[in-house]
Amino acid sequence: MSEAAQTQRADKWLHHVRLFKTRSLATAACAKGNVTVDGQPVKPARDLRAGDVLEVVRGDLRLRVQVLAFAPRRLSAPQVAEFYENQTPLEWIQKAAELRRQKSLETPPEHEMLTKPNKQQMRQLREWHEQNHSM
């Protein structure tokens, strides 16, 4: 039983520390190569050890976390800090925020796509179009 406390499957650990909402999403991310240890893709069944540094890609965001410990079940958000250390560089976070902001400007929210643009939105569209197509 002490061996189980020293290692844990990658997909299980990613789900338990709330990096992915479901274990199947964590498994899919591993299978796609979005989770790496030392630059090598991680299979979902790979045993992680304390001290491993993972890079996880979730959409536009790229995270670097170090495994500190293993949880027997999914944790509540306040408990997560005890099980991994976030080593994500600030540049990665800023880049992801900029990409998200750019996407929100290019693609309006779902509820806004169902109706015609109002006067303010038309003005913003015209300004955006003039800025991007006047080059």
Total structural domains within the chain: 1
Query: Residue 36 belongs to what domain range?
Result: 2-88
Query: What's the pLDDT at 5?
Result: 64
Query: Is 118 part of a structural domain of the chain?
Result: no
pTM of the entire structure? Answer: 0.73
3-state percent helix, strand, coil for the chain, nearest multiple of 5: 45, 20, 35
CATH number, domain of 64, equals: 3.10.290.10
Query: Is 70 part of a structural domain of the chain?
Result: yes
Query: Is 59 part of a structural domain of the chain?
Result: yes
Query: Is 43 part of a structural domain of the chain?
Result: yes
Give the tens place of pLDDT for each residue, 110-126.
776 777 888 998 999 99
Phi/psi region, residue 46 (left: phi>0; alpha: psi -120 to 50; beta: rest), is: beta
Query: Is 110 part of a structural domain of the chain?
Result: no
For the cut 50, the answer to whether the pLDDT of residue 3 exceeds it is: no
Query: Is 106 part of a structural domain of the chain?
Result: no
Query: Is 15 part of a structural domain of the chain?
Result: yes
